Amino acid sequence: MTRPPDVDALLGEQARRFGDRVYLECVDPPGRLTFAQLDASCHRVAHFLAERGVRANERITVLGDNGPAFVMLFFGILRYGATVNPLNAEVLGPDLPRVLYDVAPRLVLWDRALGDQAATAVAACGAEAIAFDELFPRLAEQPASPCPRRVGGPHDLAVLDYTSGTTAAAKGVALTHEAFAYGCDGPARRFDLRESDRVLEYRSLAWASPQLLSLGGTLHTGTGLVLARRFSHHQFFDWIRDQRVSIVIGVPTVINMLLDRPVALTGADLPGLRFMTSSSAPLSVDRQLEFEDRYRIPIVQGCGMTEAGWMAGNSPDARRVGSIGPPMPHVVASIISETGAACAPGEEGELLVSGPQMASAYLTARDRLEPIPQDGFLTGDLARVDADGYLYVTGRKKDLIIRGGVNVAPAEITTALLAHAAVADAATIGVPDAVYGEAIVSFVCARAGHRVSPSEMREHCGARLAAFKVPAHVIVVDAIPKTERGKVARRALEQLWRERGAPSVP
């Protein structure tokens, strides 16, 4: 297997190939970088780090919103060979001081615009900190030529990302320069990124998924990147049209928002748009088909996690609705039973993955790394595979509700609820029950202009599910709490249940 090129080689090669062609187009706020400018800026970052004596595996924390500064620093640190630790201050919130303490960064590069909470956390962490408004004038004084004092090798740590912390505190996940290269190459190939494409990304670049696809993937293929600080419902289709976007990144939360608050534009008004991805959280078949029928935009599903990168994905030309696609290039995946035996096609088991894209370690405490298994990583996803190798995620193993000794998959109940015409979104959890061990509680929010009742929802489920799977309690909410990545915030649902108590079944 030929190792994909590293960031240093890619920056130089794409600058030679494309020069003054625009690589990065920022729409919020406006700004741009050509391939040549990105290459030169990253050389300056490398010289700056060398001047400060930064060594391989030392962590450089980058705290900032999506924008040219973040992109230059991310790639520049990787080019030099140190470890970049991108953090989203807004998402981490009060957890930021704890994260910075555990990371023990050699240097913190941060944006004062993030506000007082970030400033307090940065000051308290004890590391040398340089704000962007001080940093970039100093970078401008550095040479734009290759740095002879680069550090690190393919097996040194490249990126230290943090998980979303949907069920527990966010934790650090470290991957090597080699793993980062493979992790970018796989989705770029599977999603067929082309030099002529322009990819719209609005998710935080502090997350692994956009780093591997929207940053590394586009750099691998010479694809243009259109970048926004965050999703905007009223600007979304304007960005696609005005920036001639051909691939738009999607998550189920955005897809649901566009269905619940429709806009007039469709794919017919955007002839250059090839497809929209969907990842980060499950997307029901009904919602996918409804979106494609409403907007005439194909959805290409994929799946990944911080520890394993992009694990699977559909090809734009060979997609299957309801499937996350076959394993990505370089990824080895299998479905195993409780005993560790391989499951037959169609049989549900746990998804096991391995490959050169795997992260190498968890950061479990201050400066303490614990290895991640490389010969087979249990993802916690329940899944099945068909005869053609397409994977279908059916739920999360640790989310299973054990009611009276019987396993119940929350995803099955949520899918049934989403099939109701008046339901915009739903989620299901298990809560302690004195008789059955756990009781099933579902949360639903209605579509605009509709109303739903708990009794109606339970009756609807009763017509589609076995009696023991019907929720004991249904709580109607204004919105299902989600993380910034679009995943259901289970801890928030558990807290909501505690606050509401155990409502009587109507």
Q: Kindly report the CATH number assigned to the domain that includes residue 344.
A: 3.40.50.12780
Together in a domain, 43 and 100: yes
Give bridge partners of residue 24 from the DSSP assignment.
33, 225
Phi, psi of 189 (to 5 degrees): -70, -50
Q: What integer pLDDT is reported at residue 433 of this predicted model?
A: 81
Q: What integer pLDDT is reported at residue 211 of this predicted model?
A: 98
Per the CB < 8 A criterion, the answer to whether 61 and 34 are in contact is no
Together in a domain, 478 and 381: no
Write down the residue that tokens 């269905």 correspond to. 259
Q: What integer pLDDT is reported at residue 165 of this predicted model?
A: 57
Together in a domain, 442 and 382: no
Together in a domain, 118 and 47: yes
Q: What is the pTM of this model?
A: 0.86
Together in a domain, 357 and 419: no
Q: Tell me: the pLDDT tens digits for 129-160?
A: 999 999 999 999 999 999 999 999 999 999 99
Q: What integer pLDDT is reported at residue 506 of this predicted model?
A: 41
Residue numbers of the chain with a pLDDT score lower than 70: 1, 164-169, 405, 501-506
- On the 0-12 / 13-18 / 19+ scale of CB atoms within 10 A, 373 is exposed
Q: What integer pLDDT is reported at residue 504 of this predicted model?
A: 42
Instruction: Say how far apart CA 27 and CA 202 lie, in whole Å.
Output: 10
Q: What angle do CA 455, 459, 464 make, to 5 degrees?
A: 150
Together in a domain, 311 and 387: yes
Q: Is residue 1 part of a domain?
A: no
Q: Is residue 303 part of a domain?
A: yes
Q: What integer pLDDT is reported at residue 502 of this predicted model?
A: 57
Together in a domain, 31 and 127: yes
Together in a domain, 304 and 159: yes
Instruction: Say how far apart CA 221 and CA 130 lie, in whole Å.
Output: 33
Together in a domain, 197 and 63: yes
Domain range for residue 444? 400-500
Instruction: Say how far apart CA 170 and CA 104 lie, in whole Å.
Output: 16
Q: What integer pLDDT is reported at residue 163 of this predicted model?
A: 83
Structural domains in the chain (count): 2
Per the CB < 8 A criterion, the answer to whether 216 and 180 are in contact is yes
- Strand 309-313 relative to strand 299-305: parallel, antiparallel, unpaired? antiparallel
Together in a domain, 39 and 165: yes
Write down the residue that tokens 């796989």 correspond to. 186
Neighbours of 506 (CB within 10 A): 10
Last residue of a domain, one of 356, 391, 426: 391
Q: Is residue 227 part of a domain?
A: yes
Instruction: Say how far apart CA 217 and CA 201 lie, in whole Å.
Output: 12
- Going 455 to 457 to 458 to 462, the CA torsion angle's sign is positive
From the centroid of its chain, how far is CA 363?
19
From the centroid of its chain, how far is CA 341?
30
Together in a domain, 473 and 329: no
Together in a domain, 369 and 439: no
